[in-house]
Chain A
Amino acid sequence: MLRTNRLWSLVVSLAVVFGLLASAHAQTTLRLAEHPGPHVAALEEYFIPLYEELTGVKVLMEVLPPTQLWQKMQLEAQGNTNYYDMGYHSPGWFGYYYDKVAGLDALIAEFGFDIGQYSESVINSHMVSPLLRPGEIVAIARNPQTPIYAYRLDWFEHPDEQAAFQARFGRPLAAPATWEELYDIAVFFTRPAGATVAGETLAQPLFGYSASVKPPGGMARAFLAIVYSLGLDGWDDTYTSDLRHPILLEGVAYWKKLINDAFPPQAQTWDFLEHLSFMREGRLATAELWPEGVLTIDGGDAPTAGKIGYSTLPQWPGNLKDLPIGRGFIGGGGMLIFDTPKKAEAFQFIQWLLEEQAAEFNLRTAMFARADQFTDPAVLGSYDFYDTFLPAFQEQMAYGFPRQHVAEYGAAMYNPAGEFAADVVFDVLTPEQAQRRWADAMERIFTESGFR
């Protein structure tokens, strides 16, 4: 009898264990590699729990700093581990794993995703890759963006500051029209602790301008706004570098002066949007603003909410393309799907998030990608700052530089841009040495790849 009971206990225990294992195995789990940003909290606290509740599909999100993110995605993809099912899509990174990403046309046809909601320029910059994956849609855009200029409107409008600026520079204090004007404003607002700004005494030093410039990734992201404002493309149709042009030396000399005279020293340890926290704390007067950081300085709980002005990047007079304003590259990103057995489930999650929940996603993140987000009254009425932010955002996007769709972009352009700027700014190499190093490396890479 005892023996029979033991046998039954064993059978029941095994059945429970196998049942649990089977149910765990039956549950679909999707793994998502994500970039930091305002969407992370929205995904973590709202969208993912809701999706799991609605569908029973489990979504595991891993958020990594930008540089580590593309490197991990690259290593997992090249190792064919199927570790990530979905990932953040940056057009500049796509070359690192372009052959491991699922084409989306069949899934779009099967599930009926409305691509018509995306403008042609967004599709071209963020959803296709003509050289690497010709004729295919490879990602869904989520927050295409390009940097604009943000400034403390309340300080700019303060009579004391207006008068002091007028007396020093002979013109009214207003958003800069040129990069040299941006420099003037930046040094004007750079003040030690104990000085005053807009009638208030500063407890800590105030800095005039900043971006996050940790080399090489952060520095590249910020410095490329100078490179593209100069009218440089990186290379021409014959894959000959245009970086040997003397205007690049003018640009980097300006950048060095701006960093040394107006940036907080900590900026060189910041990777992406950290400088906006400084602005939020009242320690920074003006800043480069990648639009996905706007809630940091103008969201409801920010001390600076309602005190921020927005403008396009200023012009570089004499730039090689006669651009009327400055420009950065069209960055931000979307979502791509790796070619794993769960790509259909991953696509369904993305469709639910970016199409069915498009308005809710925008309300929670202030990220724009689809046409209906720009016209939805509920979206437009959700933040007061949209009145001034969206015109600057949209005008800047019209001039944004779409990065070339080559696998070599990161190795030939992005990473070396950060190294070039950092090596000059911090006096590691002379500007001419650094310029030659960058241009030579770029052309060697294109020669190796058979483009030249």
Chain B
Amino acid sequence: MSSRRHFNPWAFILPGIIAGGVVLGFPVAQAFWTSLHRLRMYRLHDQVFVGLDNYVRLLQDPLFHLSVRSTIVFSIGCTVLSVIAGLAVASVMSTRGIRGTSAARFFMAFYLVPFVATQVVVGMMGRLYVWEPEYGLVNFILGLFGADGPMWLISRDTAMWATVVTNAWRLTPLAVLIFYAALATVPEELLESAEVDGAGGWRALAMIKLPLIRYHIGFVALIQLTSAFREFDTVFALTGGGPARVTNVLSLLVYNEGISNSDMGMANAISFTMLIIVAILSLVYMRFARLGEMGN
């Protein structure tokens, strides 16, 4: 009887472990194994074990450090912007009088467009129609106010911010969806009591709504952070990593090393390093989330 009780849970999770091992564990192990080798795209049959040499070279490379910095700025920028924008939109949509109206439903569907658009298309649209210095939307609007807009994607001072805004625009709908659903769980009587006590919209948001959905905010921030950390398509289509490598985030460095420079060993070393960083970020979040639960 006792052995059956021990056997059953394992029987249920074994298929998941096997599937996870095949679709996740094997590629990760393969990537790590390849990162310990010298493997050139033009000599695929000539794989030589080099130990940690790729990692040593990587850590000594100033361009890797530059990419790490770019990735941190890009990821945090995208996360902060998309979370704030998501909260703002979801809060407005949850307001009494707007929530549930046909206009609200239309705008919710409208906000999903960037979420379902192909990332490369988002990048191309950004490059050709939004940030383009002569004919783009942003400089057109600035021109209406008599201002000369910069060359957003060409200037070192603005390229990263234009890239962050474009990618945050793509990430925001996910935040809107989750926050909108989360705000719907805030008890109406709490908000009514706050209103009776004189708390206005901002105060109710800051003192009641945000504390109640803080785990959702943390969850969305983690998802956005890890998504932005791995981002390739949008940045590649938008700037290709330029100008002056300002937007050369780690995933583009992987591409440059693996495909452009044919160094698959190094590309896998960078990928595996990224995996470790993302795993650490996730663990930190889970740790904080657990501490928060214990505090409660």
Contacts of B43 in A (CB 8 A): 407, 449
- How many A-B residue pairs have C-beta atoms within 8 angstroms? Tell me: 67
Could you tell me which residues of chain B, from 115 to 160, have a CB within 8 Å of some CB in chain A? 133, 151, 153-156
Interface of A is mostly: helix
Q: How far is the CA of A96 from the CA of B48 in the complex (A)?
A: 19
Give chain A residues whose Cβ lies under 8 Å from the Cβ of B156: 426
Interface of B is mostly: loop
Shortest Cβ distance from B153 into A: residue: A269
Please name 12 pairs of A and B residues whose Cβ atoms are closer than 8 Å in the assembled complex, sorted by A. Answer: A71-B260, A98-B42, A215-B240, A265-B151, A422-B245, A426-B156, A426-B242, A427-B244, A428-B66, A428-B244, A429-B63, A448-B48
Residue B198 lies at the interface, judged by CB distance under 8 Å to chain A: no
Complex interface: chain B residues within 8 A of A427 (CB): 244
- CB of A266 within 8 A of CB of B240, answer no
Question: Does residue B185 face the partner (Cβ distance < 8 Å to A)?
Answer: no
Other-chain residue from A265, A411, A426 in contact with B261 (beta carbon distance below 8 A): A411
Let me know if A96 and B154 touch, CB within 8 A. Answer: no
Task: Determine if A265 and B42 form an interchain contact, defined as CB atoms under 8 angstroms apart.
Answer: no
CA distance A445 to B155 in the complex (A): 34
Docked Cα-Cα span, A398 to B42, in Å, equals 31
A74 within 8 A of B: yes
Say how far A268's CB is from chain B's closest CB, in angstroms: 6
Mask: chain A, 197-216; 1 = CB below 8 Å from B; 0 = not: 00000000000000000111
B-contact 0/1 string along A123-143, CB 8 Å cutoff: 000000000000000000000
**B259 at interface by CB-CB < 8 Å:** yes
Q: Is the CB of B242 within 8 A of A96?
A: no
- Is B231 close to A, CB under 8 A? no
Confirm or deny: B99 has a beta carbon within 8 angstroms of a beta carbon on chain A: no
Contact, CB under 8 Å: A416 / B261? yes
Distance from B239 Cβ to chain A, minimum over Cβ atoms (Å): 8
Q: Which of A's residues lie within 8 Å of B, judged by CB?
A: 67, 71, 74, 78, 95-96, 98, 214-216, 265-266, 268-269, 407-408, 410-411, 415-416, 422-423, 426-429, 433, 445, 448-449
* B44 interface residue (CB < 8 Å to A): yes
A415-B154 in contact (CB<8A): no
Q: Is A415's CB under 8 angstroms from B260's CB?
A: yes
Among the listed B41, B240, B241, which residue makes an inter-chain contact with A96, where contact means beta carbons less than 8 Å apart? B41
Whole-angstrom distance between the Cβ of B28 and the nearest chain A Cβ: 22
Known: A74-B41, A78-B41. A428 touches B261 (CB 8 A): no
B261: min CB distance to chain A, Å: 5
B38 touches A448 (CB 8 A): yes
The 9 closest A-B pairs by CB, nearest first: A426-B244, A407-B42, A411-B262, A265-B154, A415-B260, A428-B245, A95-B42, A411-B261, A71-B259
